[in-house]
Structure 1
Amino acid sequence: MATLATYIAYEGVGSTKTAFEHYRDIFGGELKVLTYGDVPPMEGMPFTPDPNSVAHATLELPGGTIAGGDAMPGESYVVKDTVYSMLYTLDDVEEARGYIQKMVDGGGSINMPFEPAPWGGHYGQVFDKFGVMWSFDVGGTDQPQE
């Protein structure tokens, strides 16, 4: 069975673990974190990884998976941007509002208020405290027909 997951690289040793624990606190789900200290040394690595650095993490959420790892030493990634977002589609407006509020309470900021959308339903965006933009969508009964 094919699956699709989003993978995010966070800067700093252990930053992925911190981010994914934050997401688990907001959404729930099953978190798995594998550090370089948990795996045997890998031949051919272009660097010696910090044993506390996250090699791979996954958070299984209702409806999808988020995956990630700590960025390679010397590499810099711009996480905060509006060119991408994590789109979480839900069935309940209040559930979406609750997730958005948890993100704001956890240090995030609203990018677009969660309000009725021109295409029906509700839509809004929030940046979490790590700079990742989350879009929340709750479809309406008045969705455009093709």
Structure 2
Amino acid sequence: MPALNPYLNFNGNAEEAFNFYRSVFGGEFLVVSRFKDMPAEYKASEKEDNLIMHISLPIAGGNYLMGSDVPSSMPKAVTGNNINISLHPDTREEADRLFKGLSAGGNVVMPMADAFWGAYFGMFIDKFGISWMINVETHPK
């Protein structure tokens, strides 16, 4: 079974929210990436450079609370679209099987493909309106 983690979206206050979550759960951030860290072809506007592209906070039991700010090029985060279920299977084959099965009858946002951060990644909204992300780490740990 792949790891399953909540992924939260924010409208410019992800860093504040995650500092709050860290004050409650404890620990240290595993990853903090900003939009300025993206390759030029994927960048949002310069005014969004310091916003959080991805942040990950380990919490109990090997789980992670993850999130990002939503760039202005995407729909604003509102209750209902501000959380995704993030699956982390071990193989591309398992990722493709899960993506195909769970996205059937839904809306593919990003098909499974190699991503610039070194993962095999895809996003979709299932036929029940639930947002999913599938991420397979492809670089050595």
TM-score by length of 1: 0.45
Q: Determine which structure has the larger helix proportion and give its number.
A: 2
Report which structure shows greater RCO (CA 8 Å, sep ≥6): 2
Query: Max radius of gyration: which structure?
Result: 1
Compute the TM-score of the two structures, normalised by the length of structure 2: 0.47
